[in-house]
Each structure stands twice: as structure tokens, then as C-alpha cells.
């Protein structure tokens, strides 16, 4: 896949992917992606940024499937933004149960304040399954850097250079959890951006496949 040299609204060139990584988003179109259950305008490519508008979204999936990989991206939220990154996700199915969802959430506002969330719903969680470390998410309106590594049964989430999840999926043994989340057993699937009716922005999405 070819890297597109982009100019962002700020006038700065988009970052070239590190060695071994390839871009998932060309900065100007949704080439390489498919949308499911489109709401309103869906997702937009704007000045090098992939935008999930508040009146759009639902599910944007890579055309390709990925098994083991390192996914890196930057994201920016607004107050009370709620989104998610699906990994090993199937098509036409509920991602957080039939695949795996990594929570993307502003938990500082009144809608999703800590007292309204279970630990496994905080930003960076393997949603509804494994809670993250907290306190490393930047304020709404600021860009965050995130890295998700899926390597066999180990899932690692790094937020702003801090590991907030390092989980062995085989350690999840509760029968009720396994019954509700059969997607934990999946070995490959699509990368997905999961719009949940609030504004979120993504840029510099790139991936490195692992053996």
C-alpha cells in the first residue's frame, strides 16, 4: 500500500509511518474501508483527519482482515465523546461481543463520569471484559496517541506512551463472560471504528502485521 503525502489544515505534513507500518487511511478518502449501518453522513475524510460526526457514524471497517498486528493512531475527543476501535471484528455482527472492542471514551464529563461507569467501561478497556489503568487520557480537544497490539492471545493497549492494558485473553474464564463475548476466541477479523452518536476524530492510522 502506498503512503500518501498529505498536508493537514495546520500546514504540517502528515507523519510518514514508521518502518514496517503501512497506512490504513489515505487522508482524503475512505478507500480501503467499508461502512455498515450508516447513520447520516457516516464517516468523513477531511484535511488528513478521519471524522466521525455526532450525526453520523455507526461502523467503518477495513476491507482486509488482520490477525496479529500493532495498530497505531491518534484521536481527539469532544466532551462526552463515545466511540470504539474494533479488532478481530466480523462483518455484520455486534463488534463488542462477536469481536473485541477497545473503548474510546471521554470519561471526564457529566454523561460518562466515573460514578456512572463500571471499570471495564473506561477508556482503553477491552469493553465489558478487562478494565484499564486510568488517568492518562488527555483533555477533550487534545490529540492522544494510542497503540493496540494483538499478538496471539495477548492484547496490549498503550495510551500516550503508558501501557494501560496488558491482558492474556486465556485468563478470562468466567462462564458468563465467555458466553456473552464469544468474539474473545476469534483469531482474526477487521479493524473497525465504531461511531456511537458523538463526535470523534482520528488521524495517522497505521498498522504493522506480526507473524
CATH of the domain at 126: 2.60.120.560
Residue where the block lists cell 486465556: 170
* Range 115-125 average pLDDT: 94
Largest Cα–Cα separation, the chain: 52
Could you give the C-alpha distances from 173 to 140, 170, 191, in angstroms and in order?
36, 7, 25
Residue 115 has pLDDT above 80, yes or no: no
Residue 74: pLDDT band with limits 50, 70, 90: very high
73 found inside a domain? yes
* Range 98-102 average pLDDT: 98
184 found inside a domain? yes
Looking at residue 9, its pLDDT comes to 37
207 vs 4, residue with greater confidence:
207
16 found inside a domain? no
10 found inside a domain? no
Residue 11: pLDDT band with limits 50, 70, 90: very low
8 A C-beta contact, residue 202 and residue 193: yes
Looking at residue 73, its pLDDT comes to 98
Amino acid at each position: 500500500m502506498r503512503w500518501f503525502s498529505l498536508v493537514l489544515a495546520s500546514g504540517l505534513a502528515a507523519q510518514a509511518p514508521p518502518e514496517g507500518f503501512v497506512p490504513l487511511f489515505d487522508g482524503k478518502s475512505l478507500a480501503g474501508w467499508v461502512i455498515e449501518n450508516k447513520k447520516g453522513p457516516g464517516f468523513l475524510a477531511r484535511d488528513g483527519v478521519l471524522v466521525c460526526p455526532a450525526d453520523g457514524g455507526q461502523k467503518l471497517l477495513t476491507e482486509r482482515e488482520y490477525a496479529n498486528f500493532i495498530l497505531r493512531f491518534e484521536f481527539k475527543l469532544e466532551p462526552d465523546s463515545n466511540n470504539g476501535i474494533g479488532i478481530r471484528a466480523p462483518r455484520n455482527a455486534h463488534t463488542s461481543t462477536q469481536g473485541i472492542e477497545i473503548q474510546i471514551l471521554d470519561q471526564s464529563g457529566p454523561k460518562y463520569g466515573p460514578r456512572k461507569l463500571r471499570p471495564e467501561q473506561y477508556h482503553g478497556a477491552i469493553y465489558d471484559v478487562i478494565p484499564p489503568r486510568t488517568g492518562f487520557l488527555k483533555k477533550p480537544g487534545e490529540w492522544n496517541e494510542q497503540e493496540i497490539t494483538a499478538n496471539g492471545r495477548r492484547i496490549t493497549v498503550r495510551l500516550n506512551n503508558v501501557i494501560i492494558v496488558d491482558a492474556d485473553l486465556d485468563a478470562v474464564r468466567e462462564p458468563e463472560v465467555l458466553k456473552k463475548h464469544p468474539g474473545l476466541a476469534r483469531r482474526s477479523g477487521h479493524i473497525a471504528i465504531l461511531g456511537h452518536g458523538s463526535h470523534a476524530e482520528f488521524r495517522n492510522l497505521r498498522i504493522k502485521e506480526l507473524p
